[in-house]
Each structure stands twice: as structure tokens, then as C-alpha cells.
Homo-oligomer: A and B are copies of this chain.
Amino acid sequence: MAVDHITINDVGPRDGLQNQPKLLSKEQRLSLITALVDAKVPEIEVGAFVSPKAVPAMAGTAELFAGLANSTSLFSALIPNMKGFELAMSAQVPVMSLVVAASNTMNLKNIRMSTEDSLRVSKDVLNVAREQGANVQAYVATAWACPFEGKISADSVFSVTEQLLQAGASHIVIADTIGAANPLEVNQLMEAMASRFDFAQLSCHFHDTRAMGLANVYAAITAGIRKFDASIAGLGGCPFAPGASGNVATEDVVMMVEQMGFSTGIDMALLVKAADLAIKLTGTAKGGNAKPWIENYYLN
């Protein structure tokens, strides 16, 4: 990876749609993924292998993968546990994502397991994945703040990251799950992370809940991070802040980093088309804050 390249993983079809009030059909979800592929988004989170009763928005993720042709985009899916891993293996998912919160209370409230237990489940999956040659990465959720515990210590993030990498995780995504991080603390944590781990194995995931999404992306870039999650049209939201903005919008991130001189390989005109589709399909996505300017000036 050249230092002047930034890799974008669009999580709209999963993290985005999962937090939308409207359920999309599999055909609609596939059309959004296809629009992102057309825009040459290098990585796309397609769905999640979770209980369709608990998360109806993600039902039929296996069928989505069956409907996806070979592509220049690398597809991933969320797996909560061994059952999810097995389903994802059957669906021939190229990259699978585990999630462990850095906050013990978040793990207890969200999945009724302590961080230690959640790590054990993830390590079991990573062991089997290694035997089967599967590519499994991991999210460290609530890496800066937790709605129950408040600020999260950097040591918790270091510890969870180290254990996941040692168990064989291919990549670690440091996630501001509730959109509460500010750029100063993003820079501080990611500089510390980049000094302890290989920066090429790290990426960041931000929400725009407090309008600091792009500032946080920039703060992580100055710490050496070169890979980011983003969500087309800002799809998504935060279960703890209804009405607030969702994930940082892919079009905003691509715009900013390309203006800063990084390449993403993404076709901006087709990316805006994908954003328009996301807005049309969901009826709630707003589009990135830079979208009006991109449409009226950058593309004209």
C-alpha cells in the first residue's frame, strides 16, 4: 500500500441499512451493492450472518453473496460467533468481521458476555478460521467511549487488539461505535496504536453524530491510518442518538482525502449515483454534507 493511497470500506449495505427504519428487499440491497461496485469502491460490507428475527434488515445475506458476481470489490460480512462463521463459510464470504467491544459493560448489555468471554468466542472462531484458511478481521467497538461507561481507556483497546491479532485476525477496525470521539482523542489513540501495531493492519470507523466525522478521519490520517469505513450517503445512525447523523458519508470522505492528495480509486460521479440510490431506497438517508457541492461544482 503506497502512502498516498487510502482504502475505503463502504459499510452502508450492512451498518447503514441495519440502522434504517425501512426494510429493503434483497433485490434493493443487491442494487445498492452493485452501484458501489460500479463506483469502484474497493471494499464493501455486504451484510451480516445474524438471526433474521433479531435483525430482519440483514435476513438473506447468504443469498446476497450468491447473487454477487466476481468483482474487483472485496466483500465482507459481519459474523457474531461460530454459527455466523459457519454460515459465512458456506456462503463463501471472502472477509468476515468479528466484533468485540472495548467496554465490558457494552459487551454485557449488547451480547450478555463480558469482554473476556467475548474475546474467547472470537478466539475460537479465529482458530477455526486459521485451520480453514478463512480471512477473519475484527472490530474493536466503543474504542473511545461507551454510553454506559463513558471514556474507554487506551489500555483496553491495546489489550483487545493485541489478543485479536495474536489469535489471527487479519485486520483490526477501531470503531467509534456511538459517534462520541473527538479528533484530539482520535489522534492520540491512533498514534499510540500505530506505534504498537502495524498501521497497515489498522483502520478506523467513525460516525458523524456530533459532526466530527471528517475531522476524526483527518486526525487518524495524521496518525498514519490509511484505511477507513464509511457509509454511502451517510446511511446509518446511532442507536443511542436517533435523529442524529449516521456513519460518516463515503462521498464526504472520498472528497476530502482526494483533495488532500490521496488516491482512492473511486469514481466520484458513480459514487454520487450510488448515494442517490441509497437516498431513494431508504427515504431517510440525507446524503453526505459535501454532496451538494460535489454535484454542483466538482462534477460540473
Chain A residues at the B interface, C-beta cutoff of 8 Å: 179, 182-185, 187, 208-212, 214-215, 217-219, 222, 240-245, 252, 255-256, 259-261, 288-290, 292-294, 296-297
User: Which residues does chain B contribute within 8 Å of A179, judged by CB atoms?
Assistant: 293
Nearest Cβ on chain B to A49's Cβ, whole angstroms: 31
Residue of B nearest to A217 (CB): B215
Given contacts A182-B260, A183-B215, A212-B214, 15 further A-B contacts (CB under 8 A): A182-B256, A183-B256, A187-B222, A208-B289, A211-B214, A211-B252, A211-B288, A211-B289, A211-B290, A214-B215, A215-B215, A215-B256, A218-B218, A243-B292, A244-B293
User: Which residues does chain B contribute within 8 Å of A241, judged by CB atoms?
Assistant: 293, 296-297
Residue of B nearest to A248 (CB): B211
CA distance A211 to B255 in the complex (A): 9
Q: Is the CB of B215 within 8 A of A292?
A: no
User: Which residues does chain B contribute within 8 Å of A208, judged by CB atoms?
Assistant: 289
Q: This chain: how many copies in the complex? A: 2
Nearest Cβ on chain B to A6's Cβ, whole angstroms: 12
CA distance A255 to B294 in the complex (A): 26
Nearest Cβ on chain B to A289's Cβ, whole angstroms: 4
Nearest Cβ on chain B to A188's Cβ, whole angstroms: 10
Q: Is the CB of A296 within 8 A of B214?
A: no
CA distance A244 to B222 in the complex (A): 27
- Given A182-B259, A218-B183, A260-B183, are A244 and B292 neighbors across the interface (CB < 8 Å)? yes
CA distance A209 to B214 in the complex (A): 13
Residue of B nearest to A289 (CB): B211
Q: Per a CB cutoff under 8 Å, which of B209, B219, B290, B293 touches A293?
A: B209
CA distance A238 to B227 in the complex (A): 32
5 interchain residue pairs of minimum CB distance: A211-B289, A211-B290, A215-B215, A182-B259, A184-B260
User: Which residues does chain B contribute within 8 Å of A260, judged by CB atoms?
Assistant: 182-185
Residue of B nearest to A297 (CB): B241
User: Which residues does chain B contribute within 8 Å of A261, judged by CB atoms?
Assistant: 184
Nearest Cβ on chain B to A212's Cβ, whole angstroms: 6
User: Which residues does chain B contribute within 8 Å of A185, judged by CB atoms?
Assistant: 260
Q: Is the CB of B212 within 8 A of A245?
A: no
Interface centre among A183, A242, A261 (most CB of B within 10 A): A183
Residue of B nearest to A243 (CB): B292
User: Which residues does chain B contribute within 8 Å of A294, judged by CB atoms?
Assistant: 210
CA distance A260 to B218 in the complex (A): 15
Q: Per a CB cutoff under 8 Å, which of B209, B218, B244, B255 touches A219?
A: B218
User: Which residues does chain B contribute within 8 Å of A245, judged by CB atoms?
Assistant: 289, 292-293
Q: Per a CB cutoff under 8 Å, which of B210, B219, B297 touches A259?
A: B210
User: Which residues does chain B contribute within 8 Å of A222, judged by CB atoms?
Assistant: 187, 222
Residue of B nearest to A219 (CB): B218
CA distance A252 to B244 in the complex (A): 13
